[in-house]
Structure 1
């Protein structure tokens, strides 16, 4: 059995940190190999070079031009790379915002993903407050965040928490201040619980 685990959510929610914390326990819990596929690691340098050539600003990674022409091919390549690993029997943890794909329910569409029926799909939506996310983005001082920070009022309009139909089947994880018990519960949700309507993992202590 192989797993395709998506860690989705807006910038500054801590998706990559969670993935790195979970991947070892996931391998021990399932007895199988996992690869970690982070969109920024796979495509960050390429996108920076492309935007430098197109706009003269390598960090212009949230502009309309990027969103209209480069975003979707990046995600397609990310998912294709995950699929190739799954076909080799290697489970995948995939990291990326993937907000459009959550809204459109594409991550639940095996045909769109190109994965077999025996692949276990888990989709985790990582959330935290806008204030916490903004503070984390500022603290990490990543040049790729320059456009977000300088156009925060514009960017914040894209921040949403899935609700209604878009929330069905998601594992919601509050990463504001999670405890060890919260991470253990998330691991159990990914590995043991069949797909079902979304649940909210309990937040950690304030």
Structure 2
């Protein structure tokens, strides 16, 4: 199996429904102001003009969780990565409505940003409801593989947190298997409810609500970088 960290191809759609006039204006006017630079090193000083704590979300969907975290931590810089244009538009709306000056967005492969960050520079990484790629032959596309996790681990500070949320049983089992093989993360769960109940500082997303309406269980994993 190829190392997933070396596969630089995004699968699936890049855009859904056609953007409305106001949404297109957000992309044209606001996105350039909050976009992560396409080239060169990425750090807090370059993104926000000062040396502040940094957190990163991989695949932020419509941006509810990203906006909730950014609103709760105004002195922390947040980087959100999402290849889907309509999701980026959703996040831009949250940034505008919440006057969130501490968020930067990247529309594309999150690993292209992660690899440009300084080592041990992140206080937290969020990976919520990633594409499960249920078929066995697609397992190499999952973000929860050792290649991407090696890269993520190198960018997390010692004691920093990695959070994973999923409602897919196959992805849940796969993730537990992969993380059990690693020596650089400590799972914080001490009892079953620790990964069955969403922590108070974990904003709910519309994807999570949809999963529960469909009768799906949702699992919440919290790991600390050793």
TM-score for the superposition, normalised by structure 2: 0.28
Write 1 or 2 for the structure with the bigger share of helix: 1
Bigger relative CO (Cα 8 Å, ≥ 6 apart): 1
TM-score for the superposition, normalised by structure 1: 0.30
